[in-house]
Amino acid sequence: MLRSALRSSTRCGLPLKAVAVSSRQLGLTAARSIQTSVRPSVLRSTVRKSPSPFVATKFDVFVRGNAQIVKVPDMAESITEGTLTSFSKSVGDYVDADETIATIETDKIDVEVNAPIAGVITEFLAAPEDTVEVGQDLLKIEPGEKPEGAAAAAPKKEEAAPVKEEPKEAAAPKAAAPPKPAAPAPTPKKEAPKKEAPKESTPAPSTGSFSRHEERIKMNRMRMRIAERLKEAQNTAASLTTFNEVDMSSLLEMRKLYKDEFLKKTGIKFGFMGAFSKASALAMKDIPAVNGSIENGDTMVFRDYMDISIAVATPKGLVTPVVRNAESLTVLGIEEAIASLGAKARDNKLTLEDMAGGTFTISNGGVFGSLYGTPILNVPQTAVLGLHGVKERPVTVNGKVESRPMMYLALTYDHRMLDGREAVTFLKTVKELIEDPRKMLLM
């Protein structure tokens, strides 16, 4: 064996120092020297020719060492850890390159972990519900091509199933013949009603009892983050809310006239959010502090752009994707951006870039039937506009009482940045633009 190893190492151009030449070192020394000196391709060929089980075992360990460790990917500058929600594959499953193999929940979004290579999962290095950090080992993948045997095994099992069922069906009629002389058949019939009687009587006593069950579920990371932000807003800002009401007759009429036409041409639905977003952007030209913020407690920041955060309810909690540069978009352009972000939010496809920033928030509780409410600030923003349901109410128009579709508006603002006069003026301007949308063309 030693001579054959020497010959193979000489053919490969390896130094003789890499192999033990002493006849006393036929065991461990020879195996170790060959393992550390010979290339993997030579090792595999040596394993096939070598009769020594010890050397083959050492080479198997070397080959298994090719498994690649998948680590927790970078998620964002502000996110360093998350909760491992689940693995989409099991140990022994084959995965393609870039296929999703795990999901990590953070306080903002869910991050999908994709396979860097194609191969077979050999080991999980973390368990679901574990807190994992960026760069932590997650699982091992043995690189390789998709095994053909696994795909071929499935049809064989499917073919075998009907073959086994046929003899069972054939045996059934044979067994059906002897029950003719059997007389004990009536006995189960008598037992059946006896069993049904107690089942009907059992619910009777339970009708007078009351359930007092309690269930405790740990908050997910997104819900915990929302709770932190809400308390931060209450503890930091000097919040105040001002109200107004708007007659929606003109906007509803315009929507009724053009919604079908624009839906057919552009595929965009004409809703309320686009009009209110555009009206808010125009009103901010006169009251720029509404779009500002406070930094470090002593610096006021004013912006010439408006990034609107749109509050969207999802199963995991409230998220606020951002419409960039709303002041430069048309009403339909804003509607298109909102529809796209809303679809991504419902499908859990929002990215950190979709929710980063935001200078002003609009929350439409009217879609859920809200009549009146006070929205809470989305820090570090200065103001949030709350929309509510449209209800027919009697109002006075030119000295006459008429029924009009009315909506309550609420503006919650940070009094440190915005004075009452400015807040009321801003909300009044939004009201006037909605009641007569033609004014938007003149501003």
The residues carrying an active-site annotation are 415, 419
Q: ∠ CA 402-403-406 to the nearest 5 degrees?
A: 120
CB atoms within 10 A of CB 70: 21
- From the number of C-beta atoms within 10 Å of its C-beta (0-12, 13-18, 19+), residue 79 rates as middle
Give start and end residues of each alpha helix (H) in 12-102. 28-37, 40-49, 53-64
Residue type, 355: M
Please list the alpha-helical segments (H only) found in 50-180.
53-64, 148-176
| Rounded distance between C-alpha atoms, residue 407 and residue 390, angstroms | 5
Residues with Cβ < 8 Å from 222, sequence gap 6 or more?
105, 106, 107, 108, 316, 317, 319
Asked if 371 and 361 count as a contact pair (C-beta separation under 8 A), the reply is no
Q: Is residue 100 a contact partner of residue 111, using CB atoms and an 8 Å limit?
A: no
Structure tokens at 148: 């053909």
